[in-house]
Structure 1
Amino acid sequence: MSASTLVRPSSPSLSFAWQTPLELGLLGAIWGASFMFMRVAAPDFGALPLVEIRLALGALVLLPFLWRARADFPLKVWPKLALIGAINSAVPFALFAWAAARAPAGVGAITNSLAVLFTALVAFLFYGERIGTRRAVALFAGFVGVVVLASGKAAGASIGLAVGAGTTAAFLYGVGVNMLRRHLKGLPAGAVAAATLLSAAVLTLPFAVASWPTRSIPALSWLSAGALGVLGSGLAYAVYYRLIQRVGAARAVTVTYLTPLFGVAWAWLLLGEALTLPMLVAGTLILGSVALSQRQPA
């Protein structure tokens, strides 16, 4: 959801109103499953090789968007695309993958929700936008949730570093969204997503090659890595931009509430990962803070 402000919504047809909840549910399920895919594949691939697969496959799926809009992407815009690709894709993807090898999938899904709060915080700190009392309270509640989550344990081991990695990734998403709004405004969102993923894949490639695992990779991890790229970074972006164009960014961003719910549910159903009390409390605080920050003023 990093390019949500690049396109204008069109008026939805009442006859297709059912598509919005269906696509929101599908998107939440896919992005929630992405954390499960990382949890399965990251221990075998390592963070950077897994991220390279994800970026390359996601860019490949979205490449038709970039090809159709290629005239809008002169050489002078590619350095910005590369920088935003690193900040908004390569580094946060690597942080989430690193965290997935060390903590339950639900931890990454919950910290990912902080991106909405960090978007407001970065706009306040670096771009002079007002944050308001409501969002300030929401930020405080969200950060309390992070502290609660970081204090928890999984299988007797501390997950504080994994929470820190996920929180940093969410902060980078917030930086990336603000950069997209100001430096790539007016460009087709699907093409921007393809270009940034492609740039990030090129930047990550040498590091992925250098750290590529020498041992055999199980088939399940290959399938998870493929699903992460094709579904989580390809199909999901296409669905998201379709939603933005039809119903607007304000409604499309509500997928933020669904992603951690699906993330925890998939991990419980398919990986047998339990929902701990700190995860429950932290998830409630973080999602509640996101909901508060998104409320329209009366």
Structure 2
Amino acid sequence: MTAASITRLFLLAAIWGASFLFMRVSVPAFGPVALITFRVGIAAVFLWLVARVLKQSLEMGRKWKYFLSIGVLNSALPFLLFAYAAQSLPASLLAILNATSPLFGAAIGTLWLSVPLTGAVALGLGCGLAGVSVLVGQNLALAGSAEWPAVAAGLLAPLSYSLASIYTKAHPGLATPFANAHGSMWMATLVLLPLFLLAPVRHAPDGGDWAAVSLLAIVCTGAAYLLYFRLIEDVGPTRALSVTFLIPVFGVLWGALFLDEAVGWHTLIGGALILTGIALTAGLVGPRGQTA
């Protein structure tokens, strides 16, 4: 990678790691549904403005079913699940759970798509499962069994990301990466609007709450997509996937710095096991211990 690509990689990881911080800050006032409706709605408008500048065509009329599927699986549903979990779970734990998406992708590929289960993938899935067990077990021991729904939501969100990735791969070339982001944001907004009418803003948000949701929408969603697509263009999808390893690092860092979240042995060991599992299942570690 060039120095510019490495800079973009770390910047993207820092931005996406901060998304869990902003959710933790703003969800008490907005509530999960209102927060995510504002997130995808503002992001959709931002990407529309970018599309106008770049003269990008969306072709929503012909591809609305595809954008609807991506909008639900890759935005509306996982964002909503993480926002629900953010009401009680620390941002650091959410960032690490988010990193399990490649593990779910490997499991789905084996069970559903009949992808051969290699020794590396099996070992990776085992490491990932062990890491999740360490993290979840310790956090439930500290917080109590009442947190089970939040933990379940935090694990279902990356599962949804994995399903979205598989769906996208099943429709290659149907839309550009930018169109995927732009179209899915509008569809996610339309899907969430009826829920928003049933679950409006919980409390009157203050300036800090609005700042957090604006940063979440514009920087962590709209701008992050643009940065990610540039990274894929420069270094390819496999190397861009390495951002998955860095997001938990920044998620834990931001949680500790700004929310005073404790970083215990369970966070470090569980996170290390999950990242090792991701490396093995994604093929980023070769048979001789070299990165692929």
Q: TM (normalized to structure 1)?
A: 0.89
1:84 has 2:74 as partner: no
In the aligned structure 1, how far is the partner of 2:28 from the partner of 2:180?
A: 31
In the aligned structure 1, how far is the partner of 2:46 from the partner of 2:109?
A: 31
Report the residue type matching 1:56 in the other structure: G
8 Å CA contact 2:140–2:148 kept in 1: the answer is: no
**Corresponding residue for residue 40 of structure 2:** 55
Q: How many residues align?
A: 282
1:107 has 2:93 as partner: yes
Report the residue type matching 2:119 in the other structure: T
Runs of 4+ residues deviating >6 angstroms? none
Show CA shifts across 1:164-209 (max 9, x none): 2111101110000010111253421011111011101110011123
Q: CA deviation at 1:236?
A: 0.6
1:253 has 2:241 as partner: yes
In the aligned structure 1, how far is the partner of 2:46 from the partner of 2:110?
A: 34
Which blocks of at least 5 consecutive residues in structure 1 are unaligned? 1-11
Identical columns (%): 34
**Corresponding residue for residue 185 of structure 1:** 173
1:79–1:164 distance in 2 versus 1, CA, 3 Å: same
Which blocks of at least 5 consecutive residues in structure 2 are unaligned? 288-292
Matches within 5 A, 1:1-298: 17-64=2-49, 68-70=55-57, 73=59, 75-153=61-139, 156-158=142-144, 159-294=147-282, 295=284, 297-298=286-287
Q: CA deviation at 1:99?
A: 0.7
In the aligned structure 2, how far is the partner of 1:123 from the partner of 1:80?
A: 21
In the aligned structure 1, how far is the partner of 2:201 from the partner of 2:42?
A: 19
Q: CA deviation at 1:234?
A: 0.6
Q: CA deviation at 1:276?
A: 2.6
1:118–1:155 distance in 2 versus 1, CA, 3 Å: closer
1:122–1:154 distance in 2 versus 1, CA, 3 Å: closer
In the aligned structure 2, how far is the partner of 1:161 from the partner of 1:210?
A: 21
User: Tell me, what secondary structure is at the counterpart of 1:92?
Assistant: helix
8 Å CA contact 2:29–2:202 kept in 1: the answer is: no
Q: CA deviation at 1:255?
A: 0.5
In the aligned structure 2, how far is the partner of 1:155 from the partner of 1:200?
A: 35
Q: TM (normalized to structure 2)?
A: 0.90
Report the residue type matching 1:55 in the other structure: V
Which range moved further: 286-295 or 110-119?
286-295
Which range moved further: 269-278 or 250-259?
269-278
1:194–1:117 distance in 2 versus 1, CA, 3 Å: same
Show CA shifts across 1:209-232 (max 9, x none): 321125311221111111100111
Instruction: State the superposition RMSD in angstroms.
Output: 1.9
In the aligned structure 1, how far is the partner of 2:197 from the partner of 2:230?
A: 34
1:52–1:74 distance in 2 versus 1, CA, 3 Å: closer
Q: CA deviation at 1:140?
A: 1.6
In the aligned structure 2, how far is the partner of 1:135 from the partner of 1:65?
A: 39
8 Å CA contact 2:27–2:35 kept in 1: the answer is: yes
Report the residue type matching 2:33 in the other structure: L
Which range moved further: 76-85 or 91-100?
76-85
Q: CA deviation at 1:150?
A: 1.4
User: Tell me, what secondary structure is at the counterpart of 1:103?
Assistant: coil
1:119–1:155 distance in 2 versus 1, CA, 3 Å: closer
